[in-house]
Amino acid sequence: MTLNVKNCSFISLPTIKDGRDGILCVAEQFHTIPFDIKRVFYIYNLHENNAIRGKHAHREVEQVIFCIRGDFDITLDDGKNQQTIKLQKPNEGLYIGTYVWNVMTNFSDDCILLVFASDLYNESEYIREYDVFIDEVSKIV
Ligand code: TYD
């Protein structure tokens, strides 16, 4: 699938399958993850069918999101183009740069999201109002 939303790309992590059971998946900063990983968070216990997460963009923080168990949909919006993608493979993630509005829905009951972020949590770098996002993104050349 081709992404037509700015500042987003797919990231595929290498997996190691040796003679033992299980798959080992590796993420490395500045290599497969294109930034210094300053924060990691994960989301689980998603049991409501109609749960909606995200609904924001970041002014400064870049993220890479993986669905390491189950699946969910993420709608990306760069202010012009919108695209909805299903994340469903533990080693195939999505890079989301700055000024991308994202909304996450349709979480499977067993879904676990793993996120690598380029900086510490700082609420002031979030844009949580869609109107403000459209206003700010329209001023970026
Ligand atoms: P939010 O980023 O809105 O979650 P999501 O994108 O999954 O919908 O964060 C939800 C709450 O958690 C909000 O009150 C901020 C807080 N939070 C932190 O304190 N630290 C963090 O690193 C993150 C990601 C969120």
- Backbone φ, ψ for residue 133 (5° rounding): -60, -50
Counting Cβ atoms within 10 Å, is residue 37 exposed (0-12), middle (13-18) or buried (19+)? middle
Reported as a single tens digit per residue, the pLDDT across 22-50 is 999 999 999 999 999 999 999 999 999 79
In the predicted model, what is the mean pLDDT of residues 2-18?
97
3-state percent helix, strand, coil for the chain, nearest multiple of 5: 10, 40, 50
pLDDT at position 1 = 83
CB 41 within 8 A of CB 116: no
Using alpha carbons, list the distances in angstroms from residue 22 to 25, 32, 70, 110, 115. Answer: 10, 21, 17, 19, 22
Check whether 141 has a pLDDT greater than 90.
no
Of ligand 1's listed atoms, the one at least distance from the Cα of 43 is 7
pLDDT at residue 66 in the model: 98
Q: Is 42 in the pocket of ligand 1 (CB under 6 A)?
A: no
State the closest ligand 1 atom to the C-alpha of 120, by its place in the atom list counted from 1: 22
| Domain annotation for the chain: domains and CATH numbers | 8-138 (2.60.120.10)
